[in-house]
Chains A and B, each alone.
Chain A
Amino acid sequence: MKRPILLKGRAWALRDEKGRAIDDIDTDQIYHNAHLAITELEKMGRFALGNLPGWEDFPQKARPGDILVVGQNFGAGSSRQQAVDCFRSLGIALIMGESFGAIYKRNAINSGFPLMVCSGIISQSGKVDSGNILEVNLSTGEVFNHTTGKKIEGGERFSQVQMDIYQVGNLFEYGKMILP
């Protein structure tokens, strides 16, 4: 399997009603513990960001291929895979953020879901707003905003293990390749 290196999609910038980036969004805000007993991927999408004030209607607004842009320490808190899977369920193509919770990052990498660190992408104004069309190169970390016509600095290229797992699909497929 060869998955795309270049992703282009509509951005959702996770800001509050005052236009500030929301940092420290924890996994209960992304996917509340009331829905943890769900094991089917297709049922998870409808709860994405369901406990984040102002973003409860995200599942209705999001379209497959969209790019979510987040602040610092996104996915803090619990180890629940559903906090990644709910975005996979909606067909979100990529999450770009200033930093991620350590377990959240692992969970995304292992399920082959693209996650890119891009410092300042949301806290610095003028880089990206909701509705902008972004083009992102996972291999080089280059980011271009087609709406503003400007390049966005700060994108970090995928690490080797992240790219390897992404390319084969997920950790299970990767493990079959590299372990006896």
Chain B
Amino acid sequence: MGKTIIEKIIARHCREKVTPGKVVWVDIDLRTARDFGGANVVENFRRNYHEDRVADAAKTFFAFDCVAPANNIPYANNQQICRDFAQQQGIKVFDVDQGIGSHILIDKGLCLPGYIAVGTDSHLNLLGALGALGQGMGDVDIAFAFKTGKTWFEVPETIKVVVKGKLSPPVSAKDLTLAVLKRLGSKGALGKAIEFCGEAIDSLSLDGRITLASMVTEMGGIVGFITPNQEVLAYCRARAGKEDIEAITADPDAHYCQTIDIDISGLKPQISLPYYPSKVANVDEVEGERVNSIFLGSCTNGRWEDFKMVAFILKGKKVHEGVMFKAVPSTREVYGRLLKKGLADVLFDAGVILTSSGCGGCASGQVGMTGEGEVQLSTGNRNFKGKQGAGKTFLVSPATAAVSALYGKITSPDKV
């Protein structure tokens, strides 16, 4: 019997036979903690291991992305606890200026296809965009991983999702992602891995792949793999400064517990309605609803391609009077490019509030919470009740966010 991607990746990291349902111990390539959960990791580590060293400081990282820079004392304290621990242990910290940890792992060439990475981030599985296994974990798991370099996995079954058809602008990777989420629902992949394939998937850029892989969490899945194409492999090789990087592919006779076919031909711009990411509709079904604020950013849509699309739409125009447009690049690298390539000017002139990089409005309000009655369009991945404040959050693509910002109401970008 052939193997799926996750079975192959796990098998490369353990000394046991790998079959779905079996619990195996694996060696982890990368372990990370954020400012969220990081202090708890340190506390768990110290309580259980006292003055011991971490298993391998070179494979261990902190990345502060949730509340960056800290806007309250408890978060500031927690970040400092992590910095002190990191210094004692010789661990690299990607501090509050650097942006979203999962993206840094990709852009610094730290995570490569076939790797296993764990961290206190439930969207770490976006590393599936590289064909790597990322797993979000709580602070007990991560403290253990810091100390031992190991963790246990119950090998999940895999669902194959075949996406046919072609994306035609302004329909984007986010719309594709929401269409898949609509089909699978919030529990469609519960406890399982996904392999995405098909024409529409093959043609996604790295940024688009990150968008799709990041929202497997909202489908209940462990991870969603997209087999790297030559463009993604070239990116990894350039970033890591290594040539011998290859994709892990599934065997032709691998076993899937389910195969789902989705045809996105003629797909319209998609939107998640409050308060569930999986409550997906066509944008034109809710068109016209007043919008108070926009959040562009997050690990789902905070990359260069996303900002480029928004700048293209906003160029020479003004955000509608009374609409707050908050834009938070995913990483310092994206932020720097915006500043240096003139896109920051375009956004500024349009009335956008552009800030330093991080998780922004997606986490506990580094950049703005919503007030009662406020309607927010977010390019993020979650719109659970109360998560980003007291208002209502809709999830959309960068293009839908930008066009809606111009009109001050929910507007489908395909009409403009």
Contact = CB atoms under 8 A, between A and B. Distances in A.
Interface string A64-102: 000000001100111111101000000000000001011
B43 A110 contact: no
Contacts of B225: none
A107 to B, nearest CB: 4
Contact of B386 (A29, A103, A159, A179): A29
Interface string A51-67: 10100000000000000
Interface in A12-34: 23-24, 26, 28-29, 32-34
Contacts of A159: 23, 154
Contact of A81 (B40, B66, B78, B186): B40
Given A39-B39, A80-B36, A161 B152 contact: yes
Contacts of A76: 186, 220
A175 B39 contact: no
A142 B382 CA distance: 36
B74 A38 contact: yes
A71 B66 CA distance: 29
A87 to B, nearest CB: 13
Nearest to B120: A79
Given A106-B137, A110-B141, A170-B140, A33 B40 contact: no
B364 interface: yes
A171 interface: yes
B48 A110 contact: no
A51 B222 contact: no
B186 A73 contact: yes
Contact of A79 (B121, B191, B363): B121
Given A102-B190, A102-B220, A172-B44, A107 B137 contact: yes
Interface in B67-89: 72, 74-75, 77-78
A177 interface: no
Contacts of B138: 79-81, 84, 103, 106-107, 110-111
Contacts of A72: 187
Contact of B23 (A51, A53, A78, A160): A160
A1 interface: no
Assign chain B's interface to a size class: 35 or more
A126 B308 CA distance: 56
Contacts of A105: 191
A73 B136 CA distance: 16
B140 A81 contact: yes
A5 interface: no
B37 A79 contact: yes
A107 B138 CA distance: 6
A36 interface: yes
B160 interface: no
Nearest to B40: A39
B315 interface: no
Interface of B: 23, 36-37, 39-40, 43-44, 48-49, 66, 72, 74-75, 77-78, 120-122, 135-141, 143-144, 147-148, 150, 152, 154, 186-187, 190-191, 217, 220-222, 276, 363-364, 382, 384-387
Given A24-B186, A33-B364, 15 more contacts: A23-B186, A33-B387, A36-B364, A37-B39, A37-B75, A72-B187, A81-B140, A101-B190, A110-B138, A110-B144, A111-B138, A171-B144, A172-B140, A175-B147, A175-B148
User: Top 7 closest A-B pairs, CB basis?
Assistant: A37-B74, A81-B138, A107-B138, A33-B364, A79-B136, A172-B48, A79-B122
25 contacts: A26-B382, A28-B385, A29-B385, A33-B36, A33-B364, A36-B36, A36-B37, A37-B75, A53-B385, A76-B186, A76-B220, A79-B121, A81-B40, A82-B40, A99-B190, A101-B190, A102-B221, A103-B138, A105-B191, A106-B141, A107-B137, A107-B138, A111-B140, A159-B23, A175-B150
